Amino acid sequence: MKRAKKTRVVLGVTGSIAAYKAAELARYMMKRGCVVRVVMSESAEQFISPLTFESLTGQPVARSFWEETQPGAIGHIALADWADVVLVAPATADTIAKAAYGFSDSPLLAVLLATKAPIVIAPAMNVNMFEHSQTQENIHNLQARGVMFVTPESGDLACGWKGRGRLAQPAEIYHHVRRAVTPQDLRGKRVVISTGPTREAIDPVRFISNRSSGKMGLSLAVEAFHRGAEVTLVHGPLSGSPKLPSLIRTISITSADEMRSAVLTTLGRDPAHHAPDIMIMAAAVADYRPEIESDQKIKKSNAPLNIQLVSNPDILKEVGEIKGTHERPFLVGFAVETGDTEKLLSEAKRKLEAKNADLLVGNLAQDSFDKDTNKVLIVSKGGNAEEIDTARKSLIAKRIFDTVATNTRSQS
């Protein structure tokens, strides 16, 4: 298998009390296939030693114009050119202000001016410093030049204040780094994804559900975010607590009826004009629910218990009907089967037609349920089927969006 190219991250660390968190962040990114080279401000060294970063990254740390680490090269320009992305985390109010005004009196500021790579800034500071109109104006000016910001978290701050100013979590920062280095073919597009199982209540303590983990839809949501989309994720009960980018809007539901309402709401009041650009219905919606939900726990007895089941709404079909002959939303359905690939292919083709979908992704239960990998067939209108062999769900998600992109290009 071909190894993916490592992402080259220049990590700028500045003089914030959160500077120690940059060590964990560097490791987090390295574990996910990044090469990290650190450049520190003079103040940052008051909070954490360059030796920490040198030991973690195995790379020299850039600290001063006058002690260049690469003889013969102009260090800060070499770093600026080397980077696939420049990340400043934590970024002080001072560094943000200087970057906004184009100062270059430190190696980090010079890298920010010299680089052609995308820049991501994760601020960390006292809430009043963050909310100060001058800081906000500086952030706004940098954003206008294409710099991406990772909004700090709200909570207790080291300075004793409560409010927004705490450095974002490594996962959140990393999602922005990935977004910065991913081609933005979904920028400005609205993408709605449904995922996970639904639960159909029998009584207050029991329900009918299925083995779906929701991981495929989560991977799709993350991929769409990295490609620049505005993502809404409607999800049933998920296993674990996935670290999604905070900019993904999540709607948590339990039953098929709730999922139907949430999905239809995303179509807006006038779907012909305001429907999302892409909808991917990856949820494993329960086909049946108990006709009657008991409001009291059903007592155990030795007699057989009969529960009458009735059909749940077919959400994909309903969205397909609302879509009608309109181009939007580009509608992707999922089909899960047991059996073999031949049966899966014929069911995927049938479902594509029956639900008025533009693309149908077929997967076998044994390949996908509760797994980190999947193996899929992507069937397009006209019957063209693309087979994607077992791969991580993040890679499958990428391939699905590649196919969506090809199909939407050929539509327009």
Ligand X SMILES: Cc1cc2nc3c(=O)[nH]c(=O)nc-3n(C[C@H](O)[C@H](O)[C@H](O)COP(=O)(O)O)c2cc1C
Rounded to the nearest whole angstrom, what is the least distance from the CB of residue 126 to ligand X in the complex? 7
Residues 283 and 313 sit within 8 Å (Cβ to Cβ): no
Q: Can you tell me which of 95, 115, 138, 374 binds ligand X, judged by CB under 6 A? A: 95
Among 92, 195, 212, 356, binds ligand X (CB under 6 A): 92
Active-site hit among 74, 148, 159, 201: 159
CA 97 to chain centre: 29
Residue 18 binding ligand X, by CB under 6 A: yes
Which amino acid is located at 199 in the chain?
R
115 lines the binding site for ligand X (CB under 6 A): no
Q: Is 44 in the site for ligand X (CB under 6 A)?
A: yes
Is residue 304 classed as helix, strand or coil in its secondary structure? Answer: coil
Q: Tell which one of 30, 35, 43, 59 touches ligand X (CB under 6 A).
A: 43
34 is catalytic: no
Which residue, 63 or 351, is less far from ligand X as judged by CB? 63
Q: Smallest gap, in angstroms, from Cβ of residue 82 to ligand X?
A: 22
**For ligand X, the closer CB: 132 or 317:** 132
What does the DSSP assignment read for 358-403? SEEEEEEHHHHTT-SEEEEEEEETTS-EEEEEEEEHHHHHHHHHHH
Q: Is 14 a residue that touches ligand X (CB under 6 A)?
A: yes
Q: Is 15 in the site for ligand X (CB under 6 A)?
A: yes
Region label for 165, one of left (φ > 0), alpha (ψ between -120 and 50) or beta (otherwise): left
Q: 127 vs 361, which CB is nearer to ligand X?
A: 127
- How far apart CA 42 and CA 64 sit, in angstroms, is 8
Beta bridge partners of residue 119, listed in sequence order? 86
| Letter string b/e over residues 55-78, b meaning 16 or more CB atoms within 10 A of that residue's CB | ebbeebbbbeeeebbeeeeebbeb
Main-chain phi, psi angles of 378, to 5 degrees:
-110, 115
Which of 48, 88, 110, 125 is the binder for ligand X (CB under 6 A)? 125
Q: How far is the CB of 364 from ligand X (least distance, A)?
A: 51
Q: Is 124 in the site for ligand X (CB under 6 A)?
A: yes
What's the closest the beta carbon of residue 109 comes to ligand X, in angstroms?
A: 8
Q: List Cα–Cα distances, 265 to 56, 235, 244, 324, in angstroms.
A: 48, 14, 22, 17
What are the residues binding ligand X (CB under 6 A)? 14-18, 41, 43-44, 92-95, 124-125, 129
Residues marked active site are found at: 159
